[in-house]
Amino acid sequence: MKGRTALTIAILSAFLMGLAVAPMSFWWLAWFALTPVWAMTVRTRSIKPAIVWGIVYHGFALHWITGLHPLMWLGLSWAASVSIVAFAWAFITLWGAFCTGIWAWGLARIPNRSIVRVIAGTALWCGLEFVRQWSALDWTSLAYTQSPHNLVILHLGRISGALTVTAAIVAVNGLIAEAWLAKSKKIIASAITLLIILHLIGFGLYQTAIVQSSEVKLTAGIIQGNVPTRQKLFAEGLRKALDGYSSGYRSLADQSVDFVVTPEGALPFLWQGENIRNAVTQAIAEKRVLALLGTFVPEGTRYTQSLIATAPDRSPIARYNKIKLVPLGEYLPFEKLLGGLIGRLSPIDAFMIPGDFNQQFETPIGRIAIGICFDSAFSEVFRHQVANKAEFLITASNLDPYSTVLMAQHEAHDIIRAIETDRWAVRVTNTGYSGIVDPHGRVKWRSQNNQYQTHADTIYRQQTQTFYVKWGNWLTPTLLGITAVLLFFVSRNQR
């Protein structure tokens, strides 16, 4: 196959995988969109098609990052704004493409045996996604191509997390590619059989009942503030935010909700506890309904992005600090080594510090698993909290100034988190989409984007523990172990 033809095929197949991602959500494309790159890598032993595939897929899926421009309201020039946005988009795209290239390099060196190559190729892809999950950057896991519409297959996440779904997609693609290379009807039959079996397993998990008794019932209140971040830097915007959140809180309290949640950074100032007095804290003091407020908390010379549960006297009941901070926007990567260089690329003067994985958010209505914005892409953030007996999920996000593409993708991640932990999820954002998601991933309510909205809805506390919550991502090390054993025996037989 000629070089230009191979690259053209890689680009087209990457676009197909990108179309599987929300909001386009042609999820079925993901089950064969990796096949051409797999086949070309095995046949040519070249990693170039895979790298091009990675650039196009990750770049296309992440094109919403460009919505960050313009940043002139931060005092930056037009050129500086474009440079920052372009750097952020390119960096995360190339990180994904680098991982795809490593996968292709490994795939090309696996012995020429179809089943061994399928198992090893699947294990290697999952291993690289696992590494990305523990890095500072991850968003474009193959699993999220199936959210929000293929809820049946997403239930495989209850077995070993989202990487179970990724493994399923890669394995089916691998079998199709191997059937193509070997011109084998038997292998293509195996791919079809595996696809059907995986969906049947997911369907069985999808049929489990959701506990909905009055003893575990709660009424959640959501305020979607819809005040752009750039407006809250000025007095008029801050007044609008405080008025919107205080009036929304009062309205929801009058509807007898059990708690009210505001988005990430709803109160755009450093929280000073009992010394804070404004329209929102006054409303809390009067109505005395549990409030979960998105704000910032000072930590020495820096601060945390936090969600605080407050008592009527403004004292904190519980606090969660965002774990997965956004590079350049919320913290400086390699600050000691590259601070002077990278600092010029960021509009932020003072950086945040991350929370740790051992946080517990204990409130009068029960223990809650919390995530703030970027946390939603990382399964382990929520698994750890649910393993420690959190009974439902809350995610608080800003999502301003991004388009509905990010809104849909963010919702897609939260749907996966609800399914794999078997928990109700309350999603509150600044600009949309806010919503309520049940443990089977069904969206019970979704807000309109770029509108001020309040909403009260019913959720239920759950105490179940899925295999994933109990045992974590056990599938990836198992696949890697099986791969090591297979390669050992293949190598010995060849000798």
Using an 8 Å Cβ cutoff, are 289 and 313 in contact?
Answer: no
Q: Which amino acid is at 388?
A: N
Burial class (CB in 10 A: 0-12, 13-18, 19+), 395: buried
Question: Is residue 56 in a domain?
Answer: yes
Report residue 8 as tokens: 């053209």
Question: Is residue 98 in a domain?
Answer: yes
123 pLDDT above the threshold of 80:
yes
Rounded alpha-carbon distances, angstroms, from residue 85 to 67, 82, 139 = 8, 5, 17
Report residue 448 as tokens: 């309109």
For residues 201 and 256, membership in a common domain is answered with no
For residues 161 and 239, membership in a common domain is answered with no
Residue 71 is predicted with a pLDDT of: 78
For residues 390 and 450, membership in a common domain is answered with yes
* 153-166: average pLDDT: 98
Question: Is residue 468 in a domain?
Answer: no
Across the chain, mean pLDDT equals 92
Residue 389 is predicted with a pLDDT of: 97
Query: Which are the contacts of 449, defined by CB distance < 8 A and separation ≥ 6?
Result: 404, 407, 431, 432, 433
Output the domain CATH number for residue 258.
3.60.110.10
For residues 191 and 303, membership in a common domain is answered with no
Comparison of pLDDT for 312 and 140, the residue scoring more? 140
Report residue 461 as tokens: 């506390």
Q: What percent of the chain has pLDDT over 90?
A: 80
Residue 233 is predicted with a pLDDT of: 81
Using an 8 Å Cβ cutoff, are 267 and 280 in contact?
Answer: yes
Using an 8 Å Cβ cutoff, are 52 and 41 in contact?
Answer: no
For residues 138 and 10, membership in a common domain is answered with yes
* 460-480: average pLDDT: 97
For residues 374 and 282, membership in a common domain is answered with yes
Residue 352 is predicted with a pLDDT of: 87
Query: Which are the contacts of 436, defined by CB distance < 8 A and separation ≥ 6?
Result: 220, 222, 424, 425, 426, 427, 443, 444, 445, 455, 457, 459
Q: Band the pLDDT of 301: cuts 50, 70, 90.
A: confident
Radius of gyration of the chain (CA): 23
Query: Where in the sequence is the domain holding 391, given as residue range(s)?
Result: 214-461
For residues 157 and 288, membership in a common domain is answered with no
Question: Is residue 313 in a domain?
Answer: yes
Question: Is residue 451 in a domain?
Answer: yes
Residue 158 is predicted with a pLDDT of: 98
Q: What is the pTM of this model?
A: 0.95
Active-site amino acid positions = 264, 322, 373
Question: Is residue 124 in a domain?
Answer: yes
Question: Is residue 466 in a domain?
Answer: no
Closest by CA to 210, choosing from 424, 379, 382, is 424
Residue 313 has a CB neighbour count (10 Å cut-off) of 11
Q: Band the pLDDT of 350: cuts 50, 70, 90.
A: low
Structural domains in the chain (count):
2
Q: Band the pLDDT of 2: cuts 50, 70, 90.
A: low
Buried/exposed code over 402-413 (b: 16+ C-beta within 10 A; e: otherwise):
bbbbbbbbbbbb
Provide the β-strand partners of residue 306.
295, 321
Using an 8 Å Cβ cutoff, are 338 and 327 in contact?
Answer: no
Tens digits of residue pLDDT in 268-299: 988 877 667 899 999 999 999 999 999 999 98
Question: Is residue 467 in a domain?
Answer: no
For residues 328 and 420, membership in a common domain is answered with yes
Residue 188 is predicted with a pLDDT of: 97
Torsion of the alpha carbons at 347, 399, 367 and 438, rounded to the nearest 10: -160
Alpha-carbon gap, residue 330 to 35, rounded angstroms:
37
C-alpha angle 153-156-157 in degrees, rounded to nearest 5: 115
For residues 252 and 196, membership in a common domain is answered with no
349 pLDDT above the threshold of 70:
no
Using an 8 Å Cβ cutoff, are 224 and 241 in contact?
Answer: no
Q: Band the pLDDT of 332: cuts 50, 70, 90.
A: low
Alpha-carbon gap, residue 440 to 152, rounded angstroms:
9
- Map 52-115 to HEC letters: HHHHHHHHHHCHHHHHHCCCHHHCCCHHHHHHHHHHHHHHHHHHHHHHHHHHHHHHCCCCCCHH
Tens digits of residue pLDDT in 60-101: 999 999 998 887 776 778 888 898 889 889 999 999 999 999
For residues 258 and 332, membership in a common domain is answered with yes
Q: Band the pLDDT of 476: cuts 50, 70, 90.
A: very high
Provide the β-strand partners of residue 318.
309
337 pLDDT above the threshold of 60:
no
Tens digits of residue pLDDT in 205-263: 999 999 899 999 999 999 999 999 889 888 999 999 999 999 999 999 999 999 999 99
Residue 80 is predicted with a pLDDT of: 83
For residues 290 and 406, membership in a common domain is answered with yes
Q: What sign results for the dihedral spanned by CA atoms 51, 57, 60, 65?
A: negative
HSE-CB for 275 with a 13 A CA cutoff = 5
Comparison of pLDDT for 333 and 300, the residue scoring more? 300
Q: Band the pLDDT of 328: cuts 50, 70, 90.
A: low
Using an 8 Å Cβ cutoff, are 56 and 395 in contact?
Answer: no
Tens digits of residue pLDDT in 353-411: 999 999 999 999 999 999 999 999 999 999 999 999 999 999 999 999 999 999 999 99
Using DSSP, state whether 237 is helix, strand or coil. Answer: helix
Q: Band the pLDDT of 348: cuts 50, 70, 90.
A: very low
For residues 419 and 435, membership in a common domain is answered with yes
* 129-148: average pLDDT: 94
